[in-house]
């Protein structure tokens, strides 16, 4: 099978042996895998949270089952979550499922940028495999994992529903926050991004977007909530400048390895700023994301600007690094279909 392998300076597409299944595992043929900002960080050696396996926004068709589990059959169209918690430890039972000791240890192998991959029995047994409804195509389903992360982040922000929200970083994850807030709340939404391409992308979707380099911090009240959907330190410090007294800053984008916060602790307390962080998603979050996508409450396909074949993964990575792109999908199929 063809598979992406991390090599020094990037990725190479190599012929690898098909994974051999242990008891309880399944083999999946990849249909689509979204390219995520964290994949780029892993390739650059900048990612800090988990082992550098690339490709996790993946959906596919089950081609082999070595499982006593009667629920999953060859031919099933599925989303397999790469990280799955235990749901029974103290942290899981108290809402911190993505901090479960098991969560980051589980993964698909060798990753989503591969013609085939293996799903561990742990993930299957703990509810990490979702079947896709017939009305949901694979392109849209590849947003289940990233939208699941957004479902979690917005839930953790505990909104009343009419807040002034500023989203820093108008990449795919920032825009998924915008689309979801727009579909489920009456919040006013404003984006900040230095890229002209991304600002006009926001405007085409009906959002306000400003350049943080030329537009000063809003005068007056400031934002009730600032979502930082970028990893660079300047985006994080801008977040603290944009939030109103008593407001919330949600750190969503994984900060770069060297990023440091230099805020005065007294300023945070005297201005009663709440800092919220949100890491990844559990299977309740991905289940909600599946529902939001298949019911078309969140029209994720608007964000797809490029589809590449697996052989073209290096072109896909180059396109993702230029800011003239939004969501990029990769498929091992020779002739990718258009999202609809
Ligand atoms: Zn991702
Ligand atoms: Zn746990």
Percentage of the chain lying above the pLDDT 90 cut: 82
- Residue whose pair of structure tokens reads 């608007």 in the numeric block: 302
Residue ranges in the chain assigned as alpha helix (H)? 37-43, 90-93, 121-125, 138-141, 144-156, 172-184, 196-204, 233-242, 265-270, 283-294, 313-321
- Confidence check: pLDDT of 339 > 50: no
Please give the distance, rounded to the nearest whole angstrom, from the Cα atom of residue 52 to the centre of ligand 2.
22
CATH, residue 121: 3.90.180.10
CATH, residue 203: 3.40.50.720
Q: Hey, how many other C-beta atoms are within 10 angstroms of the C-beta on 111?
A: 23
Please give the distance, rounded to the nearest whole angstrom, from the Cα atom of residue 302 to the centre of ligand 1.
17
For residue 105, the ligand closest to its alpha carbon is 2
Please give the distance, rounded to the nearest whole angstrom, from the Cα atom of residue 95 to the centre of ligand 2.
10
Separation between Cα atoms, residue 77 and residue 30, nearest integer Å = 10
For residue 100, the ligand closest to its alpha carbon is 2
DSSP-assigned letter for residue 309: E
Question: Which pLDDT belongs to residue 340?
Answer: 39
Question: Which pLDDT belongs to residue 24?
Answer: 94
* Helix (H/G/I), strand (E/B), else coil: 34: strand
Question: Which pLDDT belongs to residue 38?
Answer: 87
Please give the distance, rounded to the nearest whole angstrom, from the Cα atom of residue 60 to the centre of ligand 1.
16
Domain count, the chain: 2
Q: Are residues 304 and 247 in the same domain?
A: no
pLDDT averaged over the chain? 93
Question: Which pLDDT belongs to residue 29?
Answer: 98
Question: Which pLDDT belongs to residue 268?
Answer: 93
| Residue 262: band (very low, low, confident or very high) from pLDDT cuts 50, 70, 90 | confident
Number of H helices, E strands in the chain: 11, 15
Residue 290 region, left (φ>0) first, then alpha (ψ -120 to 50), else beta? alpha
Q: Are residues 144 and 203 in the same domain?
A: no
For residue 254, the ligand closest to its alpha carbon is 1
For residue 94, the ligand closest to its alpha carbon is 2
DSSP-assigned letter for residue 64: E
Give the chain's largest Cα–Cα span: 61
Please give the distance, rounded to the nearest whole angstrom, from the Cα atom of residue 103 to the centre of ligand 2.
7
Q: Are residues 270 and 285 in the same domain?
A: no
Q: Are residues 253 and 307 in the same domain?
A: no
Q: Are residues 265 and 312 in the same domain?
A: no
Q: Are residues 110 and 54 in the same domain?
A: yes
Q: Are residues 124 and 11 in the same domain?
A: yes
Please give the distance, rounded to the nearest whole angstrom, from the Cα atom of residue 172 to the centre of ligand 1.
10
Mean per-residue pLDDT, 298-323: 94
Please give the distance, rounded to the nearest whole angstrom, from the Cα atom of residue 57 to the centre of ligand 1.
6
Query: What is the b/e burial string over 168-178, where b = at least 16 CB atoms within 10 angstroms of the residue's CB?
Result: bbbbbbbbbbb
8 A C-beta contact, residue 67 and residue 121: yes
- Confidence check: pLDDT of 95 > 50: yes
Question: Which pLDDT belongs to residue 47?
Answer: 64
Residue 339 included in any domain: no
Separation between Cα atoms, residue 16 and residue 46, nearest integer Å = 26
Q: Which of 162, 164, 144 is nearest to 152 (CA)?
A: 144
Q: Are residues 143 and 285 in the same domain?
A: yes
Question: Which pLDDT belongs to residue 137?
Answer: 97
pTM: 0.95
Percentages (nearest 5) of helix, strand, coil residues in the chain: 30, 25, 45
Residue 100 included in any domain: yes
Question: Which pLDDT belongs to residue 48?
Answer: 62
Please give the distance, rounded to the nearest whole angstrom, from the Cα atom of residue 295 to the centre of ligand 2.
30
Q: Are residues 114 and 241 in the same domain?
A: no
Please give the distance, rounded to the nearest whole angstrom, from the Cα atom of residue 145 to the centre of ligand 1.
7
Q: Hey, how many other C-beta atoms are within 10 angstroms of the C-beta on 7?
A: 10
Residue 340 included in any domain: no
Q: What are the structure tokens assigned to 48, written together?
A: 């800090």
Q: Hey, how many other C-beta atoms are within 10 angstroms of the C-beta on 153?
A: 25
Please give the distance, rounded to the nearest whole angstrom, from the Cα atom of residue 129 to the centre of ligand 2.
17
Residue 127 region, left (φ>0) first, then alpha (ψ -120 to 50), else beta? left
Q: What is the 3-state secondary structure (H, E, C) of 324-337?
A: CCCEEEEECCCCCC
Separation between Cα atoms, residue 17 and residue 43, nearest integer Å = 23
Mean per-residue pLDDT, 208-233: 89
- Confidence check: pLDDT of 335 > 80: no
Residue 230 included in any domain: yes
Question: Which pLDDT belongs to residue 163?
Answer: 98
Residue 336 included in any domain: no
Question: Which pLDDT belongs to residue 219?
Answer: 64
Q: Ligand 1 is a single-atom ion; what residues have CB below 5 A from it? A: 36
For residue 57, the ligand closest to its alpha carbon is 1
Q: Are residues 246 and 209 in the same domain?
A: yes
| Residue 67: band (very low, low, confident or very high) from pLDDT cuts 50, 70, 90 | confident
Residue 338 included in any domain: no
Q: What are the structure tokens assigned to 229, written together?
A: 């959907």
For residue 143, the ligand closest to its alpha carbon is 1
pLDDT per residue as tens digits for the range 325-334: 999 999 998 6
What domain range is 209 assigned to? 157-277
Q: Which helix (H) or strand (E) holds 249?
A: strand 243-251
Residues 6+ apart with CB under 8 A from 56: 33, 36, 38, 39, 82, 83, 107, 108, 111, 112, 145
For residue 39, the ligand closest to its alpha carbon is 1
Determine whether 194 is exposed, middle or buried from the number of CB atoms within 10 Å of its CB (0-12, 13-18, 19+).
middle
């Amino acid at each position: 099978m063809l598979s992406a392998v991390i090599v020094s300076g990037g990725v190479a597409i190599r012929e690898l042996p098909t994974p051999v299944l242990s008891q309880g595992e399944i083999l999946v043929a990849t249909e689509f895998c979204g390219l995520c900002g964290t994949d780029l960080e892993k390739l650059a050696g900048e990612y800090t949270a988990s082992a550098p396996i690339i490709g996790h926004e993946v959906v596919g068709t089950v081609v082999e089952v070595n499982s006593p589990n009667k629920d999953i059959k060859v031919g099933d169209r599925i989303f397999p979550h790469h990280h799955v918690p235990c749901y029974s430890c103290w942290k899981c039972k108290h809402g911190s499922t993505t901090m479960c000791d098991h969560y980051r240890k589980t993964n698909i192998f060798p990753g989503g940028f591969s013609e085939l991959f293996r799903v561990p029995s742990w993930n299957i047994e703990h509810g990490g495999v979702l079947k896709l409804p017939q009305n949901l195509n694979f392109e849209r389903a590849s947003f289940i994992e990233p939208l699941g992360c957004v479902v979690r982040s917005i839930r953790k922000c505990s909104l009343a529903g009419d807040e002034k929200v500023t989203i820093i970083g108008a990449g795919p994850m920032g825009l998924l926050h915008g689309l979801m807030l727009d579909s489920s709340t009456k919040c006013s939404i404003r984006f900040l991004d230095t890229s002209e391409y991304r600002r006009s992308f926001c405007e085409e979707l009906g959002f306000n977007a400003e350049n943080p380099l030329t537009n000063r911090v809003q005068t007056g009240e400031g934002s009730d909530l600032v979502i930082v959907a970028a990893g660079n330190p300047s985006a994080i410090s801008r977040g603290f400048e944009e939030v109103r007294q008593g407001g919330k800053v949600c750190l969503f984008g994984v900060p770069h390895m060297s990023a440091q916060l230099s805020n005065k602790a007294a300023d945070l307390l005297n201005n009663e700023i709440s800092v919220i962080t949100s890491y990844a998603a559990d299977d309740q979050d991905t289940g909600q994301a599946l529902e939001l996508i298949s019911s078309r409450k969140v029209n994720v396909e608007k964000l797809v600007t490029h589809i590449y074949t697996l052989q073209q993964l290096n072109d896909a990575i180059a396109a993702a690094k230029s800011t003239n792109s939004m969501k990029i999908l990769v498929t091992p199929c020779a002739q990718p279909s258009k999202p609809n």
